[in-house]
Structure formats: C-alpha cells, structure tokens
Amino acid sequence: MAPTQSKHLRKDWDEEQMVKAIKMVRERRWYPKAAKTFNVPRTTLQRLTYKTDLTPEEAAATKLGRKTVLGTQLENVLVEYVLTMESKFYGLTRSDLRRMAYMLAKRNNLPNPFQESGLAGNMSSRSRDTGRHYASGSAKRKAKDEKKKNEAVLSKHVS
C-alpha cells in the first residue's frame, strides 16, 4: 500500500511571525499567548524556542526533512551540471546521476549511505551507486526552490 499524503501543509506559518513569537517567549512570556498572538503552532514554537544556540531568525528558518547527503552547495552544483547537460541534449540516466553523486561524496570525503553495486561503465569495476530515491528527491527540492524563486519574481513585478 502506498503512503498517503498529509491533508494539511507543513510549515504553513509566516516566518516573520514565528521570529516575533520566539522573541516573545524568550522574554519570559507564555507559549500559548505567543502562539495565539502571532498565529503560529504552539508545539512548533516550543520546539524552535528550545534551540537556544540559534538566533530567532535562524531557528525560524530551519528546513524540514532530512539533510542532504552532499550538502546544499554540492547538490546545487550537481543539479546545475545535469541541467546544463540536458540543455545540450546530452541525456543522463538516473544511474549516471547516482554515480556522479557518489563520486562527489567520495572526493569530498563526505560520509554517505550509498551502497556498493557492480555497475559497469567507464568507472572502475567496483563502482558505487546511490539510492534510487536520491535522484528524485534532489530533483523535487530543486523544482520547489525554482517555483519559490519564480513566485517571488512575479510578486515583485505585480507590485
């Protein structure tokens, strides 16, 4: 059975309002009052307020989900390379993308969960392969970021 999608959006609160609520709680105010005043989820406010090593702005800007294996900078480099190859009509397969992700992780001495597989090709006989879901997750994150950028540009042109 396939996993079901949640019916409500995650992180559906305003980041500026969350920053104000975190500041209010850190000034010895009650969680329920701050949550109600700034219209943010109380449990999320509690969790972010406990991150005392971060400023309120950093705490409110935390990302959801797992951290990327390559990190955002290397992942963006990889995505840009793939998009460049695609624009030049040089199609890369998913296995090509997974090999490149493994090679980037290996060359940058990053700990990675990629498993060994006997992929043939122009690499060594004992090449490595990343998980199948890595490619789709990376593409989804990039698409979501591009959508946000486009919406920001459109809103600037409208106003």
* CA separation, residue 121 to residues 67, 100, 114, 127, 143 (Å): 30, 13, 18, 9, 29
Q: pLDDT digit string (tens) for 1-22?
A: 556 666 667 777 888 888 989 9
Q: How sure is the predictor about 123, in pLDDT bands with cuts at 50, 70 and 90?
A: very low
Mean pLDDT for the chain? 75
Q: pLDDT digit string (tens) for 41-87?
A: 898 888 888 887 888 888 888 877 777 788 888 888 888 888 888 88
| Contact present, 101 and 131 (Cβ < 8 Å) | no
Q: Which pLDDT score is estimated for 115?
A: 66
For residues 60 and 107, what is the distance between their CA atoms, to the nearest angstrom?
33
Domain ranges across the chain: 15-60, 71-158
Question: DSSP 3-state assignment of 122?
Answer: coil
State the pTM of this model: 0.48
Residues with Cβ within 8 Å of 24's Cβ and at least 6 positions away in sequence, in order, are 33, 34, 37, 38
**Which contacts of 23-32 are long-range, i.e. CB under 8 A and separated by 24 or more positions?**
23/56, 25/49, 26/56
Q: Which pLDDT score is estimated for 118?
A: 39
